[in-house]
Amino acid sequence: MEPPTKKAHGEKETGRLEAFSDGVFAIAITLLVLDLKAPDVAASGASAPELAKALLRQWPSYVGLVTSFFTVLIMWVHHHAILRNVRKTDAWLHFANGCLLFGVTFVPYPTSILASYFETPAAKMAAAFYAGTFVFIAICFYLFIRAAFREPLLSPDASQAFISKTCHDYLFGPPAYLLATVAAFLDVRLSLAICTILWIFWATTITKNTRA
């Protein structure tokens, strides 16, 4: 049996981490869609207007799905862009990535809670729980970035402009989502508006940063 050969200098070693992460992101997004349920109307005797009204009554589920879907999607895009600048992995990067993926897999649960309690007296608590989940994820994402952008792990052609801009932009993640969490106790719609503005901001940020 031939001895294992050493990896060529500069060869990327992040393939397994990226493949595993892509699978987790895909599962989390799929679970979000599975939370949508058929309206509770008589399947055999419901009229078209009744079904339409029942579908419209589920609008909180649609709002939660859109906000969570695009937030997770944009996190995946950022995750991919970050790892393009990384050549090697180590235990710290794997653990930081694992904490981030834990938060991502948890997203469908607070999304379901928000949809279920949006039009009840517990709506503010549900929205705070939802936004608070993204506080945790934002912290994990920043730790992931710091773990990935350490000098020994970077690719020789890593973009220093992208690294600097990404580290700067993600400092705003935790306090921004914390603001959304606090806002939930004042107005649920305000909290969701902040979360929506944030995923639009992250989408704009990654578009600009990849051109840096």
Position 45 scores a pLDDT of 65
**Ramachandran area for residue 10 (φ above 0: left; ψ -120 to 50: alpha; else beta):** left
pLDDT digits (tens, 9 = 90+) for 148-177: 999 999 998 888 989 998 998 889 999 999
Contacts of 202 (CB under 8 A, 6+ apart): 71, 74, 75, 78
Which range has the worst mean pLDDT, 19-23, 25-29, 33-37, 192-196? 33-37
Mean per-residue pLDDT, 124-143: 96
CB 67 within 8 A of CB 202: no
> Helix or strand or coil: residue 153?
helix
Confidence check: pLDDT of 211 > 60: no
Model confidence band, residue 1 (pLDDT cutoffs 50, 70, 90)? very low
Position 122 scores a pLDDT of 95
| Beta-bridge partner residues of 154 | 86
Q: What is the DSSP string of 80-133?
A: HHHHTTB----HHHHHHHHHHHHHHHHTHHHHHHHHHHTTSTTHHHHHHHHHHH
pLDDT digits (tens, 9 = 90+) for 47-100: 777 778 877 887 888 888 888 999 899 999 999 999 999 999 999 999 999 999
The pTM of this model reads 0.84
Mean pLDDT for the chain? 86
Contacts of 97 (CB under 8 A, 6+ apart): 17, 21, 144, 147
Position 20 scores a pLDDT of 94
Total count of residues recorded for the chain: 212
